[in-house]
Structure 1
Amino acid sequence: MSWPDRIAYLRIALVPVIMALILYATDGGPGYVVALGVFIVAAVSDFLDGYLARRWDIATVLGGFLDSVADKLLVLGALTALVKVGRAWTWALFIIVARELAVMGLRGVAALGKEGVPPSIWGKAKAWVQFTAIGLAMVRLSDQWGPLYLDEYFMILAVVVTLLSGYEYFVRYQRVFRLERNSV
């Protein structure tokens, strides 16, 4: 097993740890800060495994699959726990889950054909903004900035970037499906 694959497996293994830390954290206690530390390690590993796979020229289909699954589990697991403790909105979780399922479905359909659509800069931006919003929600600042907390503004930004990246994938997949139809 390659190092990038091990890193992706580690990220998957950290998800229940992060969730437990969030679910059992108390305001003023160390739980949220420890959860944030573990979450940062997991988030950085998202970029490390891909970098190593490309750098060492050992990228595999399994590695790409593991990376994608690990990313989704990390975001959805942490966000679900944050919803449960009242630090994130259910509607934001729903939109992010819907986008992930829609894009996975598109990728599955495209995989049946000859063409694929590689990840885009919007997908990378989505991940970073989601990671930032989740991290800020873990260590929520006590003061509100206007009607919302800082992490809530970032969560709104994460939802907007998530929707934009989903739209961008749909546009790109439409082109692939048109090309395939025209070549038949």
Structure 2
Amino acid sequence: MNIPNLLTLARIVFIPLLVVLFYLPFPWSMPLAAGLFALASVTDWLDGYLARRWDQSTPFGAFLDPVADKLMVAVALALLIERYDAAWLTLPALVIIGREIVISALREWMAEMGKRGKVAVSWIGKVKTTLQMIALLLLLAFAPGTPVAWLGVATLYVAALLTLWSMIQYLRAAWPHLSDSM
């Protein structure tokens, strides 16, 4: 157990805290929930940076890091779907969640075939993740209908479009290997 892995585990511990903060009936609960989400987002970057910098990458960390990321994002999106109760927010949220499931399954399949490197994270995926985190932070922190919340919605749509684009890139890269195994 090293510091990068502990940071990843902290992200998982933050998930129930995020839910509790989201539902607390106090005016400060939403900014606090957004602050916790921001802290989780920073630990997402920091654990990878430290693991590379200190040469502390582990198989456990490589497995748990994307799981923690996907859980945190999926829970935040689910909370926001309830808060907004609108198809126009549900649609990009489901695109993002669905893509994460498809790409996780694709990576697992490619790893089983010994070709995990064929579906490595691209720069589009990194931009998508950054925009997604910004959108979720804004949507968690600000009440629906405010100008900043609308900026969060617009950013979420851009992230959803990049989500689809990156999924298509992953599928294209993997298709020759997948079609050989069918």
Query: Which of 110, 121, 140 is the matching residue for 2:142?
Result: 140
C-alpha separation between the residues in 1 aligned to 2:85 and 2:151? Answer: 11
CA contact (8 A) 1:134 1:151 kept: yes
SS at match of 1:99: helix
Show the 5 A alignment for 1:1-80: 1-25=1-25, 29-80=27-78
Query: 2:114 — aligned with what?
Result: 114
> TM-score, normalised to structure 2's length?
0.88
- State the partner residue of 1:151: 152
1:93 is displaced (CA, Å) by: 2.0
Q: Distance in 1 between matches of 2:52 and 2:85?
A: 36
Amino acid at match of 1:160: L
Give distance in 2, aligned partners of 1:84 and 1:32. Answer: 14
Compute the displacement of 1:176 (Å).
4.4
| Superposed counterparts of 1:75-114, under 5 Å | 75-86=73-84, 89-114=89-114
Q: Residue 87 and residue 154 in structure 1: after superposition, are their counterparts in 2 closer, same or farther (change >3 A)?
A: farther
Distance 1:143 1:40 in 2: 20
Q: Deviation of residue 60 (structure 1)? A: 1.7
Gaps of at least 5 residues in structure 1 are none
Cα displacement (A) at 1:87: 7.2
CA distance in 2, matches of 1:156, 1:150: 10
Q: Retained in 2: the 8 A contact 1:23–1:81?
A: no
Structure 2, unmatched stretches of 5+, are none
User: Structure 1 pair 25/70, CA: closer, same or farther in 2 (3 Å)?
Assistant: farther
> Compared with structure 1, are the counterparts of its residues 72 and 127 closer, same or farther at alpha carbon in structure 2 (3 Å cutoff)?
same
Structure 1 or 2: more helix by fraction: 2
Report percent identity of matched pairs: 33
Offset, 1:123: 1.8
Q: CA RMSD in A?
A: 2.1
The answer on whether the counterparts of 2:135 and 2:153 sit within 8 Å (CA) in structure 1 is: yes
Aligned residues, how many? 176
Name the CA shift for 1:109/1:67 in 2 (closer, same or farther; >3 Å). same
Residue 118 of structure 1 deviates from its aligned partner by 2.0
Which residue of the partner structure matches residue 163 of structure 2? Answer: 162
Normalized against structure 1, the TM-score is what? 0.87
